[in-house]
A and B are shown apart, each in its own frame.
Chain A
Amino acid sequence: MSGILNSSIGRKFAMALSALFLMVFLLQHFSINILSVLAPDTFNDVSHFMGTFWVIQYLLQPVLILGVIFHFVMGFVLEIKNNKARTISYAKNNGAANSSWMSRNMIWSGLAILGFMLLHFYDFWVPEINIKFIEGDMSGLIDPNNADSGYRYLEHLQHKFVDGWRVALYVISFVFLALHLLHGFNSAFQSIGANNKYTKGLVGFSKVYAIGIPLGFIFIALYHFFNH
């Protein structure tokens, strides 16, 4: 087993596992965010639990961050290695004749998602860390001195979707996320060797996931923009 990550298939496998992990996380993230539309109070309660329960904060969150970093770094490593495998380009190459745009441009959709994540971290993660660990306020309340002021999470979310430019950036990023997932979902299963009689059904499910989840995030962003 030693050196498996030094092989092309091992790297594919690791990339696929990190992708599957992130797709599970994305589903969980969406499930909580949609509560901000369907059940705002529950959204606040779940957000407070997620933000204060030590297992999530100190065990799962670092694993998630490592998973994200690994996926991006491995993506760049694979892109560099793949570019080295063809040093002279074709004068004429008709890639559209045999493969989808999404499959040929994973690096660009991935870079768009990376850019979005920097904005998303700046919008939500950095302020959260600041309030909890710099200011030392673990109450989750709008006014930490007033127990009746309610949780701050929904208000923070709504505040972020006031600016049209930010909502536009989020919407564009989710379109890139959909493009990335439209190839990435199936590709991950192919990489772990799961190409069998269930593949046809998996392809259908992957399209539902790849379009449905980003579309759901777009809906949430637009909902809060038009209802603030």
Chain B
Amino acid sequence: MDLKLKIWRQKNANDKGKMVDYPISNVSPDMSFLEMLDVLNNELIEKGESPVSFDHDCREGICGSCSLYINGEAHGPDRLITSCQLHMRTFKDGETIVIEPWRAKAFPVIKDLVVDRSAFDRIQHAGGFISVNTSGNTIDANTIPIEKADADDAFMAATCIGCGACVASCKNSSAMLFVGAKVSQFALLPQGQVEATDRVLNMVKQMDEEGFGNCTNTGACEVECPKGISLENIARMNREYLSASFKG
């Protein structure tokens, strides 16, 4: 396959940045998208040019590092996958592929396609945990009876890998699907009840302080989420937040 790549290049956080065209030839349809970028980077290095910086780690859809906005969609046109799981056979020979970093004020670009997603970490630090005594007397979680439906929903919410595709896809750069998932995974379980009120209030407060936008329920986040996190989690967070606010 011969492709025309249009890639966002930005030297550092202060650089203005611009789209740069890169033709690439002999791309195997069986390559992953990141392997194609590896090939491009090898060519750039051989020519003495700076390789394209992009985040990657596990390359099997678990870590959520590969934050690429490909042809106008987070993680590309396929569903329920991350960029590293996207294969070149998805594209046509001769196609132009536009590759950009996540765009959100709360996710500033560090270099090229790499963005700073530490805003998510700070939201997690604000309440995305339960305070369990791990001194050796920890009670086995399975000793607490939990309804199957609740356990399934909590587990589903917990599959969020924090990749940020929800923020990238949302026209408002809202982080509510991420925060909704992190709130839900505890709100549905008895272990999460003790800190439930403070958790949702603190996480939403931190989310707002980070500069994410307001959710307008377009549903783009749900469609583009590589783990299929449902909008139900946002509704649950809304209920938790409103309930917590009235409790004080």
Interface residues of A (CB under 8 A from B): 1, 4, 7-13, 78, 81-82, 84-95, 97-100, 103-104, 106, 183, 186-187, 190-196
Q: Which residue of A lies closest to B217 (CB)?
A: A187
Which segment of B82-90, B128-136, B219-227 sits at the interface? Answer: B219-227
Contact code string B197-208 (vs A, CB < 8 Å = 1, else 0)? 000000011011
The A/B interface has a contact count, at CB < 8 Å, of 141
Q: Please tell me the number of chain B residues within 8 Å of chain A, measured between CB atoms.
A: 49
Which of A89, A92, A196: most chain B Cβ within 10 A? A92
Quote the shortest CB–CB distance from A108 to chain B (angstroms): 13
6 contacts between A and B (CB under 8 A): A4-B242, A7-B205, A10-B245, A82-B171, A100-B219, A191-B217
B100, B231, B242, B246: the one contacting A190 at CB < 8 Å is B231
Complex interface: chain A residues within 8 A of B238 (CB) = 9, 12-13, 190-193
Q: How far in angstroms is the closest Cβ of chain B from A96?
A: 9
Q: Are A85 and B104 in contact (CB under 8 A)?
A: yes
CA of A1 to CA of B245, assembled, Å: 4
Check B178 for interface membership: any CB of A closer than 8 A: no
Instruction: Indicate whether B124 reaches chain A with its CB closer than 8 angstroms.
Output: no
Known contacts A190-B234, A191-B238, A194-B235; A85 and B106 CB within 8 A of each other: yes
Q: Select one of A4, A87, A93, A104 contacting B218, CB under 8 A.
A: A104
Give the distance in Å from the alpha carbon of A191 to the alpha carbon of B72 in the complex.
Answer: 27
Interface string of B1-17 (1 = CB under 8 A from A): 00000101000000000
Chain A residues with CB under 8 Å of B6's CB are 91
Interface of B is mostly: mixed
Within the complex, the shortest CB–CB distance from A13 to chain B, in Å, comes to 6
B175 to chain A minimum Cβ distance, whole angstroms, is 9
Lowest 7 CB-CB distances: which A-B pairs, in order? Answer: A94-B72, A195-B235, A85-B213, A193-B239, A82-B172, A98-B223, A103-B218
Nearest CB of A to B96, in Å: 9
Tell me the bound Cα distance from A82 to B211 in angstroms.
9
With contact pairs A8-B208, A93-B72 given, residues A86 and B231 touching in the complex (Cβ less than 8 Å): no
Chain B residues with CB under 8 Å of A85's CB are 104-106, 172-174, 211-213
Which A residues are CB-close (under 8 A) to B106?
A: 85
Q: How far is the CB of B78 from chain A (nearest CB, A)?
A: 11
Contact A86 B218 (CB under 8 A): no
Residues of chain B lying within 8 A (CB to CB) of residue A89: 103
A-side contacts of B208, CB under 8 Å? 7-8
A100 nearest in chain B by CB position: B218
Chain B residues, Cβ within 8 Å of A196 = 232, 235
Of the residues A91, A186, A194, contact of B100 by C-beta under 8 Å: A91
- CB of B118 within 8 Å of the partner chain: no
By beta carbon, the residue of chain A nearest B235 is A195
Q: Is the CB of A8 within 8 A of B100?
A: no
**B192 in the interface (beta carbon within 8 A):** no
CB distance from A104 to the nearest CB of B (A): 6
